Structure 1
Amino acid sequence: MQKVDSLIFIIVGILMLIGALFSYSLPVYLEHAKHLSEYHFVMRYIGFGILGFAIMVWFAKLDPDKWFERIGWSILIISAILVIAMPFLPESIAPVINGAKRWIKIGPFKFAPVEFFKLGVIFFLSWSFTRQVKGHRTLKEEFQLIIRYIIILGGFWYLILAYQSDLGQVMVMGLLFAFLLLIAGGKFKTFTIILAGGIFVFIAAILSSGYRYARFKAWLHLMTNNFFPDITVESSMSYGQVEQSLNAIYHGGIIGQGIGNGIFKLGFLSDVHTDFVLAGIAEETGIIGISVIVILMLALVYRIYKIANRSEKKEYQLFAFGVGTLIMIQFIFNGLGVTSLIPIKGLTVPFLSYGGSSLVALCTAIGMVLMISKKAKLN
């Protein structure tokens, strides 16, 4: 076996250093308001970062032919059980926060099973599509095949949507399903049907919830005011966080206000270290800083796609493609959300947003990609 792709190690390491830096710089107001140490968030980020990086290095050393499926099945089964169990767990273990059960609490720590479930879904689809999706199928035969996947995964997506109120994660997994099916050899017509179905589910989810509908109208009001001033959409709800996000980005300009000198993190953007981390970084480092992050993300996804393209086993190809697409979707969705181009979905920015579950899950995913990179013909 050849050596792992060391450039991925370097890119991920740089992104995690940036994430640690802004986990120190951005949540200063929250630390002050909750009487926390100024090092509270950065020390936790570093702790989870060390754990995630250690897992990444450990997995990268393993033989994929022996360990890839064992690890994949373990992640899928454990995370699926937790997703099913969460609605029934007592609040002392799965606390209700903002009307949803998204985290399991163990002592002072919380983790979100859905972050690992996304990785399990990528593994399951790569394993299953390798065996089930073949060429020369009619559209009817292919639809009959994928309806089984939609029924099984749809049950989990319903639980995540109904009990965790997390439409963003369901959208991400739906898109991963569509893209992986297409890459596995599915028909483009099937791909478009799945996307159309996803749009229908998205609309239905909005219309079925008064709160989601009000937030959607608030976003539409803000977006049209910013980009289509001739169109008027009335809304009684403010989309204030995104408004402040746009102000922060504008205030950053080209070169930024300097690291530590941001103003909008001082109570104006309450989630500046998580959902709105790109806005906080843009204010302090400007377009130049965001451009560096975009280049790093593109380089990371390119290297992962290269591993997918050069892998000989179709299962490895699909898994690496899925991980690269997961990173790309979350980065693009978050970037479009904080600029009001799409509704904000509460998705983390890979490696930059504060959040132990997301960080460890992504490091695990990268470790598995590095594991299979030893079987790819990269030279």
Structure 2
Amino acid sequence: MRQKLHHLNYNILLPYILLVVFGIVMVYSASSDILLVNGFNPAIYGIRQAIYAFCAIFLVGALCFFLKLGIFKSRRFVAGFLVICLLMLFYLICLKLFKGSAAAVNGSVGWIDLKIIKIQPLEIAKLALVIYLAYFLDRHDGSFKKGHIIQNLSRPAILAAFMMFLVIIEPDFGGTAVLAMIVIVMFSVSGVPAKNAVLCLIGIGISVFLLVFLIIKWNPEFLQESYQYRRFLSFLHPFELEQKGGAQLVNSYYAIHNGGLLGVGLGNSMQKRGYLPEPYTDFILAIIAEEIGVIGALLVLGLIFYLIFSIMEVGNKASSQFNALVCFGIATIIFTQTFFNVGAVLGLLPITGVTLPFISYGGSSLLVLSAAIGIVLNISANERIKKEKEELE
């Protein structure tokens, strides 16, 4: 334990801690006014986020750091983790079938309510998929040769597709896209020829574009009342559809414009006072831009991308395929979520409800991301210890 602590990677730990602490501050700032207006304790979401952060850092993250690394690549752990995750996703589908809109939150059945905390299985599914793919691809390292690629990748591809199918039924298009990116990136860095990976990415891109184009042209009647469809249309015409789903994007523009380069001051946002719906979740970046300015928002994003770079650096230097793939998979989760969140806030991508990593309000996301960071720190410490022993020999 002491040896691991001595080899902590501060290039990962410090940005992670800074982002989590800043997230607590911004969740409190973004939620306090609207809670106060509605007669609730203005600090309740900030306190909850602080509790989530404490558990995430000192319980979940620390546990994943101190556990033996071999546990994460044992067959029992991988299978058990995957089965639990799939059962939770299947349970959500059962909720949707039997309870319908009564179990939905913002048009999606994506949470399991345990009263104390709401668990979002999708967040767990991201990490479960990364660990499963790393385990499978590591065991089949070197077998992805021409003529056998499809055959060797069929099993993980089918399982990933089934997982994405369960998520998209909720429906959660943003979550499905994150899972798809995990598969593409991990297949790409596992030894699959780059040509195949690029063709796969192009094929998916063209398919999605054609599907979106057909839906826009068709504009089917049965989708008109769908929450997700209205949010998609509001991305295309935010000001025309401000009263039918475009309010978030329009007020996001106002928040960023109000903030300018330096911001109006921490706690002084106007858009969080009932104009921007749920400003402490997926649109918290707009409040950050309004309160500490575009420069402050860029610094926050810079810290996230520095963390991603540091994780990828650990993956690049890893001595085993499993360790490298886990690092690249976790970096993909953080990058993809950040990409979709920033794109939605700026109106460059459809609003999918993807949260900003470490910053947005939510226990499931913070706990799972902290577990992921703990695993990366575990890998980094083990790699450093191994290198030190080799140098002494």
TM, length-normalised to structure 2: 0.85
The answer to whether the 8 A contact 2:230-2:245 is kept is: no
Which secondary structure does the structure 2 equivalent of 1:170 belong to? helix
Which secondary structure does the structure 2 equivalent of 1:341 belong to? coil
User: Partner residue of 1:58?
Assistant: 63
Say which is worse superposed, 70-79 or 314-323, in terms of deviation.
Answer: 70-79
- What does residue range 262-301 of structure 1 map to in structure 2 within 5 Å? 262-301=269-308
**2:210 & 2:50 partners in 1: Cα distance?**
39
The answer to whether the 8 A contact 1:320-1:369 is kept is: yes
User: Partner residue of 1:229?
Assistant: none
Aligned with 1:48 (options 46, 52, 70) = 52
Which secondary structure does the structure 1 equivalent of 2:271 belong to? coil
How far off is 1:236 after superposition? 9.7
User: Partner residue of 1:220?
Assistant: 236
In structure 2, do the counterparts of structure 1 residues 58 and 177 end up closer, same or farther at CA, with 3 Å as the change threshold?
A: same
**2:54 & 2:363 partners in 1: Cα distance?**
11
Which secondary structure does the structure 2 equivalent of 1:117 belong to? helix
In structure 2, do the counterparts of structure 1 residues 99 and 249 end up closer, same or farther at CA, with 3 Å as the change threshold?
A: closer
Gaps of 5+ in 1: 226-232
Aligned with 1:344 (options 351, 373, 380) = 351
User: Partner residue of 2:339?
Assistant: 332
**2:54 & 2:329 partners in 1: Cα distance?**
24
Look up the equivalent residue of 1:219 and give its one-letter code.
Answer: F
Aligned with 2:124 (options 92, 116, 119) = 116
**2:278 & 2:191 partners in 1: Cα distance?**
40
**2:115 & 2:144 partners in 1: Cα distance?**
53
In structure 2, do the counterparts of structure 1 residues 133 and 48 end up closer, same or farther at CA, with 3 Å as the change threshold?
A: same
How far off is 1:33 after superposition? 4.6
The answer to whether the 8 A contact 2:72-2:131 is kept is: no
**2:344 & 2:155 partners in 1: Cα distance?**
32
User: Partner residue of 1:86?
Assistant: 92
- What does residue range 177-256 of structure 1 map to in structure 2 within 5 Å? 177-199=183-205, 200-201=207-208, 204=211, 207=215, 209-210=223-224, 211=226, 212-222=228-238, 239-256=246-263
**1:311 & 1:5 partners in 2: Cα distance?**
14
How far off is 1:189 after superposition? 2.6
Look up the equivalent residue of 1:362 and give its one-letter code.
Answer: L
RMSD over aligned Cα, in angstroms? Answer: 2.7
User: Partner residue of 1:317?
Assistant: 324
Q: Aligned residue pairs: how many?
A: 367
Which secondary structure does the structure 2 equivalent of 1:184 belong to? coil
Deviations 1:199-253 (A, max 9, x none): 325754783855455543432235xx9xxxxxxx999955221111011011101
**1:323 & 1:136 partners in 2: Cα distance?**
23
User: Partner residue of 2:25?
Assistant: 21
How far off is 1:91 after superposition? 5.1
**1:50 & 1:218 partners in 2: Cα distance?**
37
In structure 2, do the counterparts of structure 1 residues 115 and 238 end up closer, same or farther at CA, with 3 Å as the change threshold?
A: closer
User: Partner residue of 2:133?
Assistant: 125
In structure 2, do the counterparts of structure 1 residues 72 and 304 end up closer, same or farther at CA, with 3 Å as the change threshold?
A: farther
In structure 2, do the counterparts of structure 1 residues 236 and 248 end up closer, same or farther at CA, with 3 Å as the change threshold?
A: closer
User: Partner residue of 2:105?
Assistant: 97
Say which is worse superposed, 278-287 or 125-134, in terms of deviation.
Answer: 125-134
**1:289 & 1:108 partners in 2: Cα distance?**
34
User: Partner residue of 1:107?
Assistant: 115
In structure 2, do the counterparts of structure 1 residues 19 and 343 end up closer, same or farther at CA, with 3 Å as the change threshold?
A: same
Say which is worse superposed, 152-161 or 267-276, in terms of deviation.
Answer: 152-161
The answer to whether the 8 A contact 2:111-2:118 is kept is: yes
In structure 2, do the counterparts of structure 1 residues 284 and 72 end up closer, same or farther at CA, with 3 Å as the change threshold?
A: farther
In structure 2, do the counterparts of structure 1 residues 237 and 24 end up closer, same or farther at CA, with 3 Å as the change threshold?
A: closer
Deviations 1:354-373 (A, max 9, x none): 00000001001111111111
Look up the equivalent residue of 2:137 and give its one-letter code.
Answer: F
User: Partner residue of 1:361?
Assistant: 368
Deviations 1:312-351 (A, max 9, x none): 1100100011101211111121111100011121111110
User: Partner residue of 1:175?
Assistant: 181
**2:103 & 2:245 partners in 1: Cα distance?**
27
Gaps of 5+ in 2: 389-393
Which secondary structure does the structure 2 equivalent of 1:124 belong to? helix
The answer to whether the 8 A contact 1:281-1:290 is kept is: yes
**1:24 & 1:234 partners in 2: Cα distance?**
30
